[in-house]
Chains A and B, each alone.
Chain A
Amino acid sequence: MTATDQARTSPAADGGTEKANAFVGLSRVMLLGFVRDKGTLFFTLALPLMFLVLFGVLYKGGGTSHVKVAEVGQVKLLDQLKDQKDGPLSVLEITTFSDEESALTKVKKGELDGLVTEGPDGKLVLRFSQADQVKAGTVQGIMNSLVQTANQMASHATPAFTLDSTKVEDDSTKPIQYLTPGLLAYAVSMGAVYGASFTLVTWRKKRVLRRLRLAPISAGTIVGARVLVSVIVALAQTALFLAVAQLDYFGLKLTGNWWLVIPLVVCATLAFMSIGLVTGSLAKSEESANGINQLIILPMSFLGGAFIPLDFAPSWLQDVSRALPLRYLITPAKSVLSQGGGIADALPAMGILLGFTVVLSAVAWRFFNWDDA
């Protein structure tokens, strides 16, 4: 040290005891970079949410369809039904026609499942189409039971046999139950893959990485800040998706262990980030990083069951999906969110996701470069 060193005015000294933290500083930079980038906001929040709303609306009408019958003229038995809400009407949709011919045409075309008229002496006449065998059977069965019940009541006799039926827990999947975890997984993968890869590519291109290397901060601080910000983004996506899916219109009902989706999303975020680290290490420009990311995320989303439920997929596709991390978020998330799944469903998947993270991070480290030159 020379005398002039002592004389030099230190800007740091002016700050007094005021301290700052590199981890906080970096996290803030990354969060601001995310919030201020309209493109990123759109692709990680708005677009997946639009998919959720769109698919939610499209698939809403789906599920069990009613048996549709035409009532031509007055049919006493059917008219009685209209007063009782819980009866066969829950599966029966009755349309009244005055013109028998046009109703018959509709039955022949398969637009209606049956045509009911009342003949003389309380006779119920049903004409049905054989086009859909299941529906043909259903419509005959319903009409038959209507007649039987009416007969039995008219005879005023005590029935010899009765049927007592109770509902069991509904294991079938409503569209919103697989749409929510599927599209959430898509959203989280977009956010985490892009977040990690674009940070790497732009920081390398703009020489920020190089500048960071010359600052006394560890690689752990940089990675830690990126993990924190990606997890914050992913949890914000989760909150948003669950809030929208639970609206009355979409009707997602969360079951007891739904909170397990939080550690699942965190583990999945790490796995997706490590994909982003690999692509960000390999790609030289934002454009090529974008291309590689899409080439990974889109097939992974389709094969992993983000848009279409895997339950109906052929077995080879099921096998392919097992090699992709997305599946290990979607399947357990579906289970814990709305089907009463528990820790046993979530824990193995979390382990697998962390395994992906370790392997992919090692690959990324192998290709990592501070500089393009």
Chain B
Amino acid sequence: MTEAITADGIRKRYGDVQAVDGVSLSVAVGEFYGLLGPNGAGKTTTLEILEGIREADEGRVELLGMSPWPRNAKLLPRIGVQFQASAFFNKLTARETIRTFASFYGIGPKAADTMLERVGLTESAGVLTDKMSGGQAQRLSIACALVHDPELVFLDEPTTGLDPQARRNLWDLLRDINAEGRTVVLTTHYLDEAEILCDRVSVMDHGKVLKTGAPATLVREIDDTVRIRVESGMLTADRARDLLTTAGATFSNLEDDGTTLALSTHAPGPVLSMLAEENALRGLEVRGATLEDVFLQLTGREYRA
């Protein structure tokens, strides 16, 4: 398979902080790839090094067979980049903004307007960008990244701060972009998003890639884990600890945040019967492993965005 991106042992240090600590990855052409991890995991810095905005202290990056650093004018028209913060010009409307970005690539206003329609912003075309809602700004930002028809698209947390409906709408758009044959690289701290969208994800923490694979494969590796939740306060702390002993499997974990008592276990049967005995089944929720459990297993910490 042709590789759209290969990165080998990239490192980046800011003062005392090792933001990226030896990341290697490869993304195939046409793949939807996710970089997953909590804030501060090093996703954005990794992405910026891939895009060619930052120079890595160490390591080698190739995009579409070319090095993104130093600035490579041949590569630039073939990649599209969307930033975390909306990088728009002052005092311009949505239409003026996308037409301006289009002009940088020699693309005319008609094609720019088509792109605006594509992301559903035709009706808000005359709105100043600083007056747009979060969802509209994100869609415009993505439209600006796509206006020159790039082969490789980088999206940095595109759904952060959006309401659930806007997120879902954006997911549809992102799936379409990928279905057209573009390679998409996305960073997110939403596990559900990565699970739904990505062909493959790399789970990052503390500047390192912990694990890479298809979300389903990663989940399957721990799929004998079952996650059980009940309302908290129905068991004393001692009883809860007994519960964990009863669960007694190779991997189990108990957390109580004051509203929910949650545990992951390889032996759901004994745990559930024990909870039933204690009459502590209120709010019961049982489900198979998700990426959250993968993260939990990899880092030993509950996933918190």
Interface residues of A (CB under 8 A from B): 2-16, 18-22, 24-26, 28-29, 32-33, 36-37, 202-203, 206-208, 210-217, 370-371
Contact partner, B111, options A8, A18, A24, A36, Cβ 8 Å: A18
Instruction: Give complex CA distance A130, B76 in Å.
Output: 84
A6 proximity list for chain B (CB < 8 A):
181
- The answer to the question of B125 belonging to the interface, with a C-beta cut-off of 8 Å to chain A, is no
A211-B81 contact in complex given A10-B149, A18-B108, C-beta closer than 8 Å:
yes
Interface residues of B (CB under 8 A from A): 2, 29-30, 51-53, 71, 73, 76-77, 79, 81, 83, 85-92, 96, 99-111, 114-115, 118, 144, 146-149, 151, 180-182
B180 proximity list for chain A (CB < 8 A):
4, 7-9
Chain B: which residue is nearest A8 at the CB level?
B180
| Known A11-B111, A33-B92, A207-B87; 16 more pairs at CB < 8 Å | A11-B118, A12-B111, A14-B110, A18-B108, A20-B99, A22-B103, A22-B105, A28-B96, A202-B90, A206-B86, A208-B87, A211-B144, A213-B53, A215-B104, A216-B77, A370-B53
B147 proximity list for chain A (CB < 8 A):
11
Instruction: Give complex CA distance A9, B90 in Å.
Output: 31
B107 lies within 8 A of A12 (CB): yes
Chain A: which residue is nearest B75 at the CB level?
A216
Can you list 10 A-B contacts with CB-CB less than 8 angstroms, sorted by A residue number?
Answer: A2-B2, A7-B181, A25-B102, A28-B100, A37-B91, A203-B89, A206-B88, A210-B83, A214-B79, A215-B101
The 7 A-B residue pairs with the shortest CB-CB distance, nearest first, are A25-B103, A18-B108, A4-B181, A15-B111, A20-B103, A8-B180, A207-B87
Instruction: Give complex CA distance A20, B101 in Å.
Output: 10
B88 lies within 8 A of A22 (CB): no
Instruction: Give complex CA distance A5, B183 in Å.
Output: 10
A370 proximity list for chain B (CB < 8 A):
53
B144 proximity list for chain A (CB < 8 A):
211
Contact partner, A33, options B2, B83, B91, B182, Cβ 8 Å: B91
A36 proximity list for chain B (CB < 8 A):
91
Instruction: Give complex CA distance A12, B78 in Å.
Output: 13
Min CB–CB distance B61 → chain A (angstroms): 15
Instruction: Give complex CA distance A216, B104 in Å.
Output: 7
Q: For the complex, would chain B's binding face be called helix, strand, loop or mixed by DSSP majority?
A: loop
A211 lies within 8 A of B90 (CB): no
B146 proximity list for chain A (CB < 8 A):
11
B106 lies within 8 A of A19 (CB): yes
A215-B29 contact in complex given A12-B111, A15-B110, A18-B110, C-beta closer than 8 Å:
no
Chain A: which residue is nearest B53 at the CB level?
A210
Instruction: Give complex CA distance A19, B2 in Å.
Output: 32
Min CB–CB distance A269 → chain B (angstroms): 21
Instruction: Give complex CA distance A210, B83 in Å.
Output: 9
Instruction: Give complex CA distance A210, B73 in Å.
Output: 14
B88 lies within 8 A of A208 (CB): yes
Which has the most chain B C-beta neighbours within 10 Å: A16, A24, A208, A211? A211
B100 proximity list for chain A (CB < 8 A):
25-26, 28-29
Which has the most chain A C-beta neighbours within 10 Å: B30, B53, B79, B118? B53
A8 proximity list for chain B (CB < 8 A):
149, 180-182
Instruction: Give complex CA distance A49, B29 in Å.
Output: 60
B90 proximity list for chain A (CB < 8 A):
33, 37, 202, 206
Instruction: Give complex CA distance A216, B73 in Å.
Output: 5
A16 proximity list for chain B (CB < 8 A):
110
A14 lies within 8 A of B114 (CB): yes
Chain A: which residue is nearest B148 at the CB level?
A12
Min CB–CB distance B303 → chain A (angstroms): 26
Min CB–CB distance B182 → chain A (angstroms): 7
A22-B181 contact in complex given A2-B29, A32-B96, C-beta closer than 8 Å:
no
Instruction: Give complex CA distance A213, B52 in Å.
Output: 9
